[in-house]
Structure 1
């Protein structure tokens, strides 16, 4: 998996949340009150409550739901990639960097390293080895 794809994880999660909020707003029913009159004499004014949904909303809801599912699938593939990393230290680096959004310095400190670039170097080495394995296949 490429760095650019991994770096999208947090943005994907925010986008999913935003799309779900938009979908919920679309699901609300429109309720209004209108004035009318009796159908027969005496034609007295009455107030009638009407409710319904605007038809183009359903199409937009479907589009937003599709986008949400696509984002969820991408986020899931990133989660799966990280979960499939065998080395615990490397897995922690990827999770803290891409899932939690930590800085390299903070991750290195968490892993007990005094060198702030420690985590980044392990990360880069892992990706380079992984790319080399992919080229061999």
Structure 2
């Protein structure tokens, strides 16, 4: 498995966070809209902002649902791959990095006090080159 394939879960999670942020933003805009009760007729060409926000929120929620399903399948695929590795330390490195999303320094600290993030990254790179 390549580094790019291993990183897919990370990028899916970032996509999900971005969609969730956009939904929250649109929901805030939709609830912040007020209806004018002036008795005056509406001007021609004005859009119903709430309806636009609701439609976009519904579309984004569908995309979010799809990305969550992709995330679930990607997590299972990564777990199967990592569990198939014989070296327990490498399983731990890959799991901490690609499933937990930790930076190299935190991966190293979780494994051993004597390892640096750079040495763990190099061991990871050597392992992937062998595969």
TM range (shorter): 0.5 to 0.7
- Greater helix share, 1 or 2? 2
- The residue number in structure 2 matching 1:4 is 4
Other-structure match for 2:45: none
Secondary structure, counterpart of 1:70 in structure 2:
helix
**Partners of 1:63 and 1:121 in 2: CA distance:** 37
Equivalent residue number for residue 33 of structure 1: 35
1:87 is matched with 87
Aligned twin of 1:74: 74
Q: How many matched pairs?
A: 116
Equivalent positions of 1:35-74 (< 5 A) are 35-37=37-39, 53-54=51-52, 56-57=55-56, 58-74=58-74
Q: Which residue of 2 aligns with 1:101?
A: 103
User: Which blocks of at least 5 consecutive residues in structure 2 are unaligned?
Assistant: 40-49
Q: Is the 8 A contact 2:93 2:120 kept in 1?
A: yes
Structure 1 residues 62, 19: CA separation in 2 closer, same or farther (over 3 Å shift)? same
TM superposition score normalised by structure 1: 0.53
Q: Tell me if the contact between 1:82 and 1:91 (Cα under 8 Å) persists in the aligned partners.
A: yes
Q: CA deviation at 1:121?
A: 5.2
The residue number in structure 2 matching 1:127 is: 128
Which one has a larger percent strand, Structure 1 or Structure 2?
1
Aligned residues of 1:108 and 1:114 also touching (Cα < 8 A):
yes
* Aligned equivalents of 2:37, 2:91: Cα separation in 1: 65
Higher relative contact order (CA 8 A, sep 6+): 2
Instruction: Verify the 8 A CA contact 1:97 1:103 in the aligned structure 2.
Output: no
Distance between the aligned counterparts of 1:56 and 1:10, measured in 2? 28
Task: Indicate the RMSD between aligned Cα atoms, in angstroms.
Answer: 3.9
1:93 shift after superposition: 1.8
Structure 1 alignment gaps of length 5 or more: 38-51, 132-137
Q: How far did 1:59 drift? A: 2.8
Q: Which has the larger radius of gyration?
A: 1
